[in-house]
Structure 1
Amino acid sequence: MATKFYQHALALAFAVHEINQDPQILPNVTLGFHICDSYYDATMTYRSTLDLLFKSHQFSPNYKCDKQRNLIAVIGGLGAATSSHIAKLLDFYKIPQVGSDLEIFAQITNRDWRYLLLSISQMQCHELLKYCIPSFHCNLILANGLLTEIKATDIIYGSFDLQELKTTHYSSFYSMVPKESHQNIGIVHLLQYFGWIWVGIFAVDNNSGQHFLQSLEPLLHENGICAAYTKRLPYIARLDKMEEHIEICYSIYKQLKNDIHVVIIYGESLTIAALRFILTLGGIENEKLYFKKVWIMTAQLDFMLTGLLRGWDLQIFHGAIAFAIHSEDTPNFSEFLKTINPHWNKGDRFIQVFWEQAFDCFFPESWEQTEVMGQCTGKEKLEDIFKPLFEMSMTGHSYSVYNAVHSVARALHDMCSSQSNYNRGKYTSHTNKRGNTVKMQTLQAWQLHPLLQSISFNNSVGERVSFEHRMETGGKFDIINLETLPNNSFQRRKVGKVDPNAPQGEQFTIDESMLVWHPGFKQVPPFSLCNERCRPGCRKKKKEDQPFCCYDCILCPDGEISNSTDMDDCFRCPEDHYPSNGRNTCIPKNITFLSYKDPLGISLSAIAVSFVLITILVLQIFIKHKDTPIVKANNRNLSYILLISLLLCFLSPFLFLGQPEEVRCLLRQPTFGILFSVAVSCVLAKTMIVSLAFLATKPGSWMNKWAGRRLPYSIAVSSCLIQASICIAWLATSPPFPDVDMHSAHEEIILQCNEGSVTMFYCVLSYMGFLALASFIVAFLVRKLPDRFNEAKFITFSMLAFCSVWISFVPTYLSATGKAMVAVEIFSILTSGASLLGCIFFPKCYIIVLRPGLNNRKHLLRQF
């Protein structure tokens, strides 16, 4: 006998007692109950059902006789198979009823209390049924002169495998338990929460187990979870039949010894006891510490020991996580259990069997015998029984029985108290001599169906009970954590719930801090993976011929990252970020530009300022000695213009320093181009003057008319105007603008000026190069003229240096990025300007300042 299931019968008795004490439910009606046995056997289940349907003093199947029970509703079905057997019979028959007293009959196996059948007891039949039609479709029963057709209602409180019952379309079938699909979704959420993707599955080898696997396995696959193995546990109704499955038991034990830490178990009430038997058979007593598993158990299972197993501990299941039918602590139920004793109810034929097995004692044949060792005293207390044998708190199945009794009672109450007509059934009421209201002149049980379908009430703990979807009520599961105790008992911890009616994101909840784990785990929660997780910076690569949960880990390619474990693919960082060295995170790029505070910017600024000061010094020297021959030689005004243009050229790098802005970008390249064009144009004009002056000194030369004062200015102005025209066209068509370069530098965002039209930029450079090349050619041709201070030689060197700088500038500029690109251009400006300043003006300043004796007309013309 499974002593734990006696609580189901006591929950039934408690509910009946509670209803009888409530004047608001079925007043003037007293409820009672009767118990039968099904023996876990289909044949006995059919027989027990027929007993309740037809048996009074003798068993006459399909015949209604005097004082016959008349069933209206059935509450039962802890197992799906037995539920199906009883539903087949109850759906065939239509049962007559007449009377005022209500009785509740409960069919309860001596191993598993299963069925609660509600009936209306019949008063004395006025006429013995003389003729019955032996048909499974309809029984027309004449009783009390009334022709009635009443259809039984089956209310299941424990079965989850509703598929078979639904496919046969039993119209009388109702379920007090939530859908199994909600439990399966909860299992998937639990596995995902802890990252368990490599699990083992054990399912009982019957139709329920097959349906469970067919529902769960696709769901696991959809959510990236693999079943390392799937094994079928032998279905047994009695533990003494386990020896018939020894070979299967050994194979199951070998499978359990692998290193898969998470195992899902689906079965029925005796499955845990059978599994404990298998583990003992394999010698688990010597390996408890090393045999560490996280057992995930479904709601049909129960932590129970019975018979030969009662002395075995459940330490191996320490830390198990179980799904259970939602239950609450019903007020006064524990106090009700404390009143139970072997003599509490003379009609309870199971109490002595339960008492003997629960307390391991025996009752004497006569209480007059002398008390001996091991004899039951009747003073034992239920609260002293270990939980594997009996629990004082109401379990989920008992809670379902409790709600089922209340559902039927309230439906009957509504049926009896209604003044409306239900499908031609009329209800009238009158008052008897005692003042009690009497109803149900005609009461038909088929009217119970619409009432059950629409039933909705709050039970004693304030929870709403209703059949929301015709066949099921409720949808919540509790998540229970099992803590085994040294005294061979255990403690249930409610650590979470599965509620499909909760708001999105709250349908699955669990408090990880309340969980206890098997002591053999070094890390909690434990891992359950086919292989080590891929760390951030790597991605998964599927192994050939292996489940998708088994994979290799490879490093992310350059420029990509993975920022969490077990990523299928790497991804690129946003444009304003770059991958870390470990390729596991994105680091914001530094915003960069050549600023005044940058060391390179400071260096270039210092050089530019130095050249500006030197140019100003040279200009002062020339102004101070403006009347000396060396200053007046080769057009003094062009020298001033050249010095001023060089001064501005040395200042132009400051337009390139600092954060690029719209005005800076618009001005810097045109300014640089025009200023250098002015400088080179002046050099070209000075070169042309030297050349023309020498040719004009020859008598009869045609160059005499070109050697006037206007020629050099014409050359300088016309050359500058052409460059200015190019710059104006550039600004008008495609001007430069501030831009952001995300890609050139790996770790930097470069703020720069986009030149707009690259073609126009190189047109400016090309024209400036053309002027420099022309100056170089002319100066080179006249470099050997007989002049003591032949400026052509110096111009030749300056143009050579100038052209060399800008020829090398182009490839260097094109290959540079960011700060380097700006620095290259600034360096080229300063270097080319310095070459002009040094080569053309340094020799003259040397003579003016250090060799003033040479600065006279006589010395200047000595070579002619």
Structure 2
Amino acid sequence: MLWLVMLSILKLPKICQGSALKCPAGDIFPLPQDWYQPGDLLIGGVSSQLIYVSIEALFKEKPSLKLLGVPDMVPKFYQHVLALAFAVYEINQDLQILPNITLGFHICDSYYEAVMTYRSTLDLLFKSSRFFPNYNCDKQRNLIAVIGGLGAATSSHMASLLGFYKIPQMIYGSFDLQELNTTQYSSFYSMVPKESYQNIGIIRLFQYFGWNWVGIFATDNNSGEHFLQSLEPLLSESGICSAFIKRLPYIARLDDTFLDVNEIYSYLMSDINTFILYGESLTIAALRVILTVGGLENENFVFKKVWILTAQLEFVLTGLSRGWDLQIFHGAVTFAIHSKDIPNFGEFLKRTNPHWNKRDKFIQVFWEQAFDCFFPESWEQTEMGQCTGNENLEDIFKPLFEMSMTGHSYSVYNAVHSVAHALHAMYSSQFNYKRGKYTSRTNKKGDAVKLQNLQAWQLHPFLQSISFNNSAGEQVSFEHRMETGGKFDIINLETLPNNSFQRRRVGKVDPSAPQDEQFTLDENMLVWHPGFKQVPPLSLCNEHCRPGCRKKKKEGQPFCCYECILCPDGEISNSTDMDDCFRCPEYHYPSNDRDTCIPKNISFLSYKDPLGIGLSAVTVSFVLITALVLQIFIKHKDTPIVKANNRNLTYILLISLLLCFLSPFLFLGQPEEVSCLLRQTTFAILFSVAVSCVLAKTMIVSLAFLATKPGSRMNKWAGRRLPYSIAVTCCLIQASICIAWLATSPPFPDLDMHSGNKEIILQCNEGSVTMFYCVLSYMGFLALASFTVAFLVRKLPDSFNEAKFITFSMLAFCSVWIAFVPTYLSATGKAMVAVEIFSILTSGASLLGCIFFPKCYIILLRPDLNNRKQLKEHVLFKSQLL
């Protein structure tokens, strides 16, 4: 480009002194649109207003305005111009700031073209209609700062010129400053918050609604690339996937050709509910063209999507596209530069009309395109009505112009006041910043330095440290030298049937707020597209995995796309979309749906338990029956049937059985240290006493018969002490085993966490399992010995054949305890305790029933048989048979 070649030879300007140095001639056509207002100090502005549909250049004539063609305008951006003019007007009217100094301004247009942006910037640097690079001729305006531009490309083009002269450049567009070469050009200041804050806000918005499947449209330029590079890592870190990333053609001119309309349209028609749209100011209008070309004008089609719009986008239409329907953007959520209503700005807009300021060369085109009319002096029109100049700005629907201050206009307003307050600080201090210190700068007469003579580069130290409250009461200051602090507003757009819209401020992103208030959103204020059946709508690759399931990645798909599989047995997941299931804590168990952990119940065989009540009743019954039998035997102690086979052993046997029937109460109730120590040893010793007595009674029968034979040597063994010796010896052996058990590894209360899935079994741990089975084995040995002896003497002449009854009792006793071992080993918890109690009661009942019930029958019902004569005859008869 010609202008880029010129830039390579530019140096600091030389001042023409009189006629000693002749300035070269350099006529060029004046810009069609600008706004110049003189003043002691001048603020420049480069706005983005008009778009010219190019006419092909044939290079057969000199450059002229004809090459620019017919203009189209973005009427809403005219507010940026008015915001600058209003801020200057407000400062000039304020006697508290820059007294005796009048600010002026010169606002040019970038025309969305690099060439015209360079042209406008050069015009700000030099004279309006004539400029000479590297020279400063005649009486020039004192340009102290330039405000612009709206887009990154425009700002970069401006910076390449303004950076040579170190003129402060106040950028009011929302884009990443990394796009500008900060090392080469260090004279610009951003009037909007960092774009990174907006990206964090987008992530927080997705997390708020649980969206993890979004499509991204970004312009195919440096801005779009920077946006994607900063946003994509945040998406991944937050568990959000981009379903696609489509780069839209950079829209600098509305007559550009869209080469991939079909591809873009296919993305728009996908089943993805949420789209992020990042682009330049005209991207909305350009996207609407794509949708129109794609065929969305079908009345029967409902296009329902959630649009997430970034701050650089504006919900705008150009003058030529004023009739387009914007209902497809109903419910869009946009991140906007924070703004606040400025006092008197609305009245300033209402006074604006084509007749109020003849220096404003933007307003005529604005008026014609905003009100769809024409001025007679512009060009012939037959389809539009004639403009009167008295039309009301409040009648324009919002896609074309807004009466409330937009975020970009608010940034322009703050930029002007930042420059003014920096100048005022410089004026008030009357100091010059030199070598890191402030030193007084006066002339020989002692007069203070006049601001009219300052150089623009001298303003930088004051701009960097400026901090003030604007007329809306909000603080404006620069952070990290180049960017202002601030926040983003979250706006919900509600489109209206008349093709206008209503903004709803539903939240904010404020990095300076406390941690829990940096992102706020009022969901109740949000308006969604009426086509959504569920609000807020879902935006997922697949449905959430409910609690009780876990995610399983789909091969070849992004991590947001997965299958849901049920948690394995014994594991749960207690929230949606969990990657893995986990086991419950030791004292809990999984619910049936495998989505929560339920505290386990403490389980033991209590007296209140139905099983415990039943066993207690049976135990008490046997205790009473045994006591009754004992009472019968004591009452009839002198009868032959009671005296037979050692009456005292009979009493000991009944008392031991009575205590055996009482021992189950040690097994019922919550296991404690004392009960655990006593239950097995008490039961073992008592049953050993009972079985030992039975063995002694059996031995008496056998020895008594053998002793009666002539010449038998068994006489010396038959006597009163033998049965007691047998019973005592057998009991002492069992007692010794129990003492050794308690001394080495005694039983203790214990918790069984694993036997029951839904309960914690409170039980007695036997300590040494070996000792426990030694006790049982010894008791079994006694029972087997008694059974063997009784079986051998079952046909011997005995009083009422007691040996035969003992045989049956021992057979039942041994059967019970043989069955007990496998049953006990296979049971857990309450069942294990119940099995042992049942075995105690059954084996005790077999002894009581088989041995004593026949005798009770004779004592109570057949007393005629209970005499010595019958006893002798019975024994004699049995002896003869043998």
Asked whether the two chains share a fold, i.e. TM above 0.5, the reply is: yes
* Corresponding residue to 2:376 among 364, 367, 377: 364
1:251 to 249, 258, 263: 263
Q: CA deviation at 1:202?
A: 0.9
Taking the TM superposition and a 5 Å limit, the aligned residue runs for 1:695-714 are 695-714=706-725
- TM-score where L is the length of structure 1: 0.88
Residue 52 of structure 1 pairs with residue 63 of structure 2: no
Worse overlay, 26-35 or 820-829: 26-35
Matched letter for residue 309 of structure 1:
S
Is 1:822 matched with 2:822?
A: no
Q: Measure the CA separation in 2 of the matches of 1:387 and 1:445.
A: 38
Give the 3 Å change call, closer, same or farther, for CA 22–759 of structure 1 in structure 2. farther
Counterpart of 2:813 in structure 1 is 802
Matched, 1:315 2:387: no
Match for residue 733 of structure 1 among 744, 759, 772: 744
Match of 1:557, SS state, is coil
Q: How is 1:400-411 mapped onto 2 (pairs within 5 angstroms)?
A: 400-411=411-422
Kindly report which structure 2 residues correspond to 1:616-655, keeping only aligned pairs within 5 A, or say none.
616-655=627-666
After the TM superposition, which residues 458-473 of structure 1 pair with which residues of structure 2 at under 5 Å, given as runs?
458-473=469-484
Q: Give per-residue Cα distances to partners, 1:288-336, cap 9 Å, x unaligned.
A: 7521111111111111111331011211100011111111222222222
Alignment-derived partner of residue 129 in structure 1 = none
Pick from 356, 376, 379: which aligns with 1:344?
356
Alignment check: 8 A CA contact 2:431 2:441 kept? no
Cα distance change of structure 1 residues 474 and 166 upon mapping to structure 2, 3 Å threshold: farther
- Percent of counterpart pairs with the same letter? 83
Distance 2:811 2:304 in 1: 86
1:237 aligned residue (245, 249, 252):
252
- Work out the CA distance in 1 between the residues paired with 2:206 and 2:852: 85
Q: Which residue of 1 aligns with 2:580?
A: 569
Verify: 1:723 aligned to 2:734, yes or no.
yes
Paired letter, 1:172: S
Name whichever of 699-708 and 550-559 sits farther off.
Answer: 699-708
What is the distance in 1 between the residues matched to 2:687 and 2:470? Answer: 97
Aligned mates of 1:448, 1:200 — CA distance in 2: 45
Match of 1:417 among 407, 428, 431: 428
Equivalent position to 1:216, from 218, 231, 242:
231
TM-score computed with the length of structure 2 as normaliser: 0.87
Q: How does 1:652-691 map to 2 (within 5 A)?
A: 652-691=663-702
Question: Please, which moves more after superposition, 513-522 or 593-602?
Answer: 593-602
Question: Measured at CA, do residues 27 and 718 of structure 1 come closer, stay the same or move farther in structure 2, by a change above 3 Å?
Answer: farther
- Name the CA shift for 1:696/1:392 in 2 (closer, same or farther; >3 Å): same
TM-superposed CA distance for 1:432, in Å, is 12
CA displacement 1:397-425 (0-9 Å, x = unmatched): 11111111111211111122115552167
Residue matched to 1:276: 288
> What do residues 229-256 of structure 1 show as CA deviations (whole Å, max 9, x unaligned)?
22121112222x14x22x4223312321
Aligned equivalents of 2:251, 2:232: Cα separation in 1: 24
Please report how far the alpha carbon of residue 373 of structure 1 lies from its aligned counterpart in structure 2 after TM superposition: 7.8
Q: Is the Cα contact below 8 Å between 1:428 and 1:439 reproduced in 2?
A: no
Counterpart residue number, 2:767: 756
Residue 671 of structure 2 corresponds to residue 599 of structure 1: no
User: Quick one: which of 512, 515, 519 aligns to 1:508?
Assistant: 519
Return the alpha-carbon distance in structure 2 between the equivalents of residues 56 and 340 of structure 1.
24
**Rounded Cα–Cα distance in structure 2 between residues aligned with 1:813 and 1:522:** 61
Partner Cα distance (1:450, 1:708) in 2: 126
The aligned amino acid for 2:263 is S
Task: Using the TM superposition, give the Cα deviation of residue 622 of structure 1 relative to its aligned residue in structure 2, in angstroms.
Answer: 0.4
What is the letter of the counterpart of residue 193 of structure 1?
Y
1:438 CA drift (Å): 6.9
Alpha-carbon distance change, 507 to 373 in structure 1, aligned in 2, over 3 angstroms: closer
**CA 1:769–1:193 in structure 2 vs 1: closer, same or farther (change >3 Å)?**
same
1:199 aligned residue = 214
Deviates most, 440-449 or 166-175: 440-449
Q: 1:848 aligns with which of 833, 849, 859?
A: 859
Contact 2:79–2:409, Cα closer than 8 Å, also in 1: yes
> Does structure 2 retain, via aligned residues, the 8 Å contact 1:485–1:491?
yes
CA contact (8 A) 1:813 1:825 kept: yes
Q: After TM superposition, give the deviation of residue 494 of structure 1 in Å.
A: 1.0
What secondary structure, in the 3-state scheme, does the structure 1 residue paired with 2:602 have? Answer: strand
After alignment, is 353-362 or 371-380 more displaced? 371-380
- For the residue of structure 1 that corresponds to 2:697, the secondary structure is helix
3-state SS of 1:465 partner:
strand
Partner of 1:179 in structure 2?
194
**Distance in 2 of aligned mates of 1:761 and 1:311:** 96
Offset of 1:637 from its aligned partner?
A: 1.1
Gaps of 5+ in 1: 94-150
- The DSSP-based 3-state class of the residue aligned with 2:76 is helix
Could you tell me whether the CA contact under 8 Å between 2:605 and 2:612 is conserved in 1?
A: yes
Distance 2:326 2:579 in 1: 40
Distance, in Å, in 2 between the alignment partners of 1:615 and 1:788 is 22
> Which residue number corresponds to residue 500 of structure 2?
489
Q: Map Cα deviations across residues 745-796 of structure 1 (whole Å, 9 max, x no partner).
A: 2222222222222222222211211221221222222222122423222112
2:510 corresponds to: 499
Q: CA deviation at 1:659?
A: 2.2
**1:328-349 deviations in Å (ceiling 9; x for gaps):** 2222222222222222223222
**1:839 equivalent in alignment to 2:850:** yes
Residue in 1 aligned with 2:38? none
- Kindly state the Cα deviation for residue 387 of structure 1 after the two structures are TM-superposed: 0.3
Distance 1:559 1:272, change over 3 A: same
CA RMSD of aligned residues (A): 2.4
Deviations 1:28-68 (A, max 9, x none): 22222111222111122122212211225621111112212
Contact 1:539 1:556 in 2 (8 A): yes
TM-fit CA distance, 1:508: 2.0
Give, as a single letter, the amino acid of the residue that structure 2 aligns with 1:623. Answer: I
Out of 775, 778, 786, the residue aligned to residue 775 of structure 1 is: 786
Secondary structure (helix, strand or coil) at the match of 1:462 reads: coil
Matches within 5 A, 1:320-335: 320-335=332-347
SS at the partner of 1:33? strand
Partner of 2:151: 79
Q: How does 1:27-38 map to 2 (within 5 A)?
A: 27-38=99-110
- 1:282: how far off? 1.5
Moved more, 76-85 or 424-433: 424-433
Corresponding residue pairs, total:
799
> Helix, strand or coil for the counterpart of 2:105?
coil
Q: How far apart, CA to CA, are the structure 1 residues paired with 2:331 and 2:342?
A: 26
Letter in 2 for 1:215: S
Write the distance in 2 (CA, Å) between the matches of 1:451 and 1:715. Answer: 115
Query: How many Å apart are 1:834 and its aligned residue?
Result: 0.3
Asked whether the equivalents of residues 319 and 400 of structure 2 are also in contact (C-alpha less than 8 Å), the reply is no
Q: Is the 8 A contact 1:73 1:154 kept in 2?
A: yes
C-alpha contact (below 8 Å) 1:428/1:441 kept by paired residues? no
State whether residues 289 and 520 of structure 1, in contact with CA within 8 Å, keep that contact through their aligned partners in structure 2: no
Paired AA for residue 872 in structure 2: L
